[in-house]
């Protein structure tokens, strides 16, 4: 009989089996399994196939009155029957991923304390200092290969949600499993609750986190340092993904740990990967070259600067001098255009500060810089108003407009606005999903620059190659590979990302590209398997029930 993980004490039976979400199959236990595993009388008599159960799940999801109810139903299923949850998610990813992740996860995080039912993952606080390793050892699985960790300071575009941000690591890891087949037992969500500066949470009696100000300075760093070290000790070969840390810590932590641990920051590097891929594909539609683009970013935070750095290095790889590549990327932050004359710039922004007159508003910047591409990552809803979009259409035959801010309510513009104010000439992508737009008898299919196209594949590639570091070169390779997954047919419909229905193949291809970078760059002590694509596929968890009892041979 399969044991599936490293539990000791044998295979569970009876109610214990039904209450084990990793093994439970609910009404799909066969007569032979019911007989052999002490399940007689514990289940309704009619036996379902897994497909019938998936249909039942979808029927129930569709009956729920709103996205939050649908989210709760799905999380409940994940707690009861993991294989069915993942089978439904894999088979209906386009319908269900906006429910288990963005945009619905944003609503779920805002309500997390009120909706709280049971723990998932590990939560650490300053009171665990000196004992973080012990806390991690309480996790029942030893073969953890991916940790997603947040301190809840910048949840999507929603700001500081403290401990309520735990919905994010939970959701992201579901996508690692659904999209790249990382075994759920190899995934660990972690919340480091360092307090919150969101006073509304303090006064909420139901808030599940620490109602105290955020740790800062050395105390904060010591806590995160201890976590990083303990995670590597307890789970050798684990990859750690930083998620939704505030701007002031995200870059610092990435700089501090990237050469010491196998880690990356998805908001900086994952976003950069998916956006660069979208840009490559958009340029195939408009027949442009990346080295000829002038890009204006609204926002100069984790997402925008991460994209700027990766795009600049792509331009350099294609022949531009560093200065020229940086000179093609322009940033506007909350104070205005980033130029050399400003004295309030940190090191990351200074890299893109050009000798140029200062302009306060985006409208002025668009007229002065004359961008070919406009990328929003500012969390400022409707910042790309009609005036800006019309200017982009006046300056370019085919403007590229990416409104990346999440959730949907924070997007710089909607897909419909982008097409309407450019007479359908824009190539558009959003951070959240937007519906198709019908205009003048034409159908436009907006792209979604969803990090889910990148991070699961990167994780699988790192895992397969046993890479000890996650590098920018891996994200560049992932972006190139993702662009290659977009077919001519996709491009003809205006799609700049592949259909989510193909995500497992896309992730496997990205994993191969990433693993090749690891082997070529000697980022691993592992010997390259002779059939690397086959090896990668063999690692992918498939949420299809297997038999728990030997199948009787007839005849
Ligand atoms: P951040 O806090 O690091 O950066 C926000 C930036 O916006 C800062 O530079 C700030 O100065 C700037 N800003 C704020 N108000 C502004 C204004 N009025 N005008 C111009 N700039 C302004 O946050 P981040 O991690 O960079 O994320 C920004 C947004 O991008 C969020 O909404 C997030 O959800 C979204 N995002 C999308 C994706 C994706 O689509 N794949 C990935 C990551 C982040």
Q: 511: domain range? A: 453-538
550 DSSP 8-state letter: P
Distance 297 CA to ligand 1 centre (A): 10
Asked if residues 208 and 113 have their Cβ atoms less than 8 Å apart, the reply is: yes
pLDDT at 9: 54
| Domain CATH for 300 | 3.40.50.720
Name the CA dihedral angle for 307, 313, 315, 316, rounded to a multiple of 10 degrees: 160
pLDDT at 554: 59
The answer on 409 and 339 residing in a single domain is: yes
pLDDT at 393: 98
Kindly state whether residue 61 falls inside one of the protein's structural domains.
Answer: yes
The answer on 103 and 85 residing in a single domain is: no
Kindly state whether residue 482 falls inside one of the protein's structural domains.
Answer: yes
Kindly state whether residue 555 falls inside one of the protein's structural domains.
Answer: no
Kindly state whether residue 496 falls inside one of the protein's structural domains.
Answer: yes
The answer on 308 and 251 residing in a single domain is: no
The answer on 150 and 47 residing in a single domain is: no
Q: Which residue numbers in the chain have pLDDT < 70? A: 1-9, 551-555
Kindly state whether residue 471 falls inside one of the protein's structural domains.
Answer: yes
The H or E element that residue 263 is part of is strand 263-265
| Domain CATH for 37 | 1.20.1370.30
**Tokens found for residue 538:** 């063999």
Asked if residues 160 and 153 have their Cβ atoms less than 8 Å apart, the reply is: yes
- In terms of residues, how long is the chain? 555
Contacts 24+ apart (CB under 8 A), 525-531: 525/466, 525/468, 526/465, 526/466, 528/465
The answer on 470 and 434 residing in a single domain is: no
Handedness of CA 402, 408, 410, 416 (dihedral sign): positive
The answer on 381 and 333 residing in a single domain is: yes
Of 101, 261, 419, 453, catalytic: 101
3-state secondary structure of 491: helix
The H or E element that residue 242 is part of is strand 239-242
Kindly state whether residue 173 falls inside one of the protein's structural domains.
Answer: yes
The answer on 394 and 308 residing in a single domain is: yes
Kindly state whether residue 294 falls inside one of the protein's structural domains.
Answer: yes
The answer on 243 and 129 residing in a single domain is: yes
Alpha-carbon gap, residue 242 to 269, rounded angstroms: 10
pLDDT at 7: 42
For 138, 336, 439, the CA distances from 401, given in Å and listed in that order, are: 47, 19, 18
- Final residue in a domain of this structure, among 201, 231, 261: 261
Q: How many CB atoms lie within 10 A of CB 207?
A: 20
State the first-to-last Cα distance of the chain, in angstroms, to the nearest integer: 23
Q: pLDDT by residue (tens digit) across 309-340?
A: 999 999 999 999 999 999 999 999 999 999 99
Please tell me the total count of domains within the chain: 4
pLDDT at 174: 98
Asked if residues 303 and 268 have their Cβ atoms less than 8 Å apart, the reply is: yes
Name the CA dihedral angle for 386, 388, 389, 392, rounded to a multiple of 10 degrees: 150
Atom of ligand 1 at shortest distance to CA of 407?
34
DSSP β-ladder status, 442-444 and 437-439: antiparallel
Alpha-carbon gap, residue 432 to 170, rounded angstroms: 18
269 DSSP 8-state letter: I
Query: For the chain, how many helices (H) and strands (E)?
Result: 25, 14
The answer on 109 and 249 residing in a single domain is: yes
The answer on 431 and 498 residing in a single domain is: no
Pocket perturbation via mutation, ligand 1, pick of 299, 337, 338 by most ligand atoms within 8 A of CB: 299
Q: Residues with beta carbon inside 6 Å of ligand 1? A: 154, 156-157, 247, 267, 271, 274, 298-304, 332-334, 377-380, 404-406, 410, 431, 449-451
pLDDT at 3: 42
Alpha-carbon gap, residue 211 to 231, rounded angstroms: 26
Atom of ligand 1 at shortest distance to CA of 300?
9
The answer on 41 and 58 residing in a single domain is: yes
| Domain CATH for 159 | 3.40.50.10380
The answer on 114 and 87 residing in a single domain is: no
Kindly state whether residue 444 falls inside one of the protein's structural domains.
Answer: no
Of 172, 220, 261, 280, catalytic: 172
pLDDT at 8: 45
- Final residue in a domain of this structure, among 217, 232, 261: 261
Place of tokens 């090749």: 516
Alpha-carbon gap, residue 452 to 180, rounded angstroms: 10
């Amino acid at each position: 009989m399969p044991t599936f993980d490293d539990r000791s004490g044998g295979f569970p039976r009876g109610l214990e089996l039904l209450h084990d979400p990793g093994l439970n199959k609910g009404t799909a236990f066969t007569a032979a399994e019911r007989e052999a595993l002490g399940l007689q009388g514990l289940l309704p008599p009619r036996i379902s196939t897994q497909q019938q159960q998936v249909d039942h799940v979808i029927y129930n999801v569709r009956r729920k009155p709103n996205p939050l109810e649908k989210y709760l139903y799905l999380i409940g299923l994940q707690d009861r029957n993991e294989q069915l949850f993942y089978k439904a998610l894999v088979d209906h990813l386009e319908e269900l991923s906006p429910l288990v992740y963005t945009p619905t996860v944003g609503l779920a995080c805002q309500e997390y304390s009120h909706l709280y039912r049971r723990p998932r993952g590990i939560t650490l606080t300053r009171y665990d200092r000196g004992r973080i390793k012990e806390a991690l050892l309480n996790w029942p699985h030893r073969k953890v290969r991916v940790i997603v960790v947040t301190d809840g300071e910048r949840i999507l575009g929603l700001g500081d949600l403290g401990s309520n941000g735990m919905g994010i690591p939970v959701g992201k890891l579901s996508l690692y499993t659904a999209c790249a087949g990382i075994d759920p037992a190899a995934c660990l969500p972690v919340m480091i609750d360092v307090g919150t500066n969101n006073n509304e949470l303090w006064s909420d009696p139901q808030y599940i986190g620490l109602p105290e100000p955020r740790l800062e300075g050395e105390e904060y760093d010591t806590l995160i340092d201890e976590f990083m070290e303990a995670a590597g000790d307890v789970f050798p070969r684990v990859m750690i993904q930083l998620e939704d840390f505030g701007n002031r810590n995200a870059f610092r932590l990435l700089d501090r740990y990237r050469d010491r641990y196998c880690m990356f920051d998805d908001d900086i590097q994952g976003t950069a990967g998916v956006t660069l891929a979208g840009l490559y594909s958009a340029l195939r539609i408009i027949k442009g070259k990346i080295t000829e683009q002038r890009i204006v970013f609204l926002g100069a935070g984790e997402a925008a600067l991460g994209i700027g750095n990766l795009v600049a290095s792509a331009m350099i790889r294609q022949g531009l001098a560093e200065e020229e590549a940086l000179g093609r990327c322009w940033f506007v932050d909350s104070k205005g255009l980033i130029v050399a004359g400003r004295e309030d710039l940190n090191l990351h922004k200074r890299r893109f500060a050009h000798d140029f007159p200062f302009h306060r508003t985006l409208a002025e910047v668009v007229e002065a810089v004359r961008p070919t591409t406009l990328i929003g990552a500012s969390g400022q809803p409707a910042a790309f108003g009609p005036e800006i979009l019309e200017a982009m259409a006046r300056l370019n035959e085919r403007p590229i407009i990416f409104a990346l801010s999440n959730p949907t309510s924070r997007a710089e513009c909607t897909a419909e606005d982008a097409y309407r104010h450019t007479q359908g000439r824009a190539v558009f992508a959003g951070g959240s999903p937007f519906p198709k737009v019908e205009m003048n008898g034409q159908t436009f299919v907006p792209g979604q620059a969803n990090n889910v196209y990148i991070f699961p594949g990167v994780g699988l590639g790192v895992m397969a190659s046993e890479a000890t570091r996650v590098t920018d070169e891996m994200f560049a390779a992932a972006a190139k590979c993702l662009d290659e997954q977009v077919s001519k047919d996709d491009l003809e419909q205006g799609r700049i990302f592949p259909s989510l229905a193909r995500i497992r193949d896309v992730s496997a291809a990205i994993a191969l590209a990433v693993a090749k970078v690891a082997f070529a760059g000697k980022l691993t002590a592992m010997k390259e398997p002779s059939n690397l694509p086959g090896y990668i596929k063999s690692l992918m968890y498939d949420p299809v029930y297997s038999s728990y009892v030997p199948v009787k041979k007839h005849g």
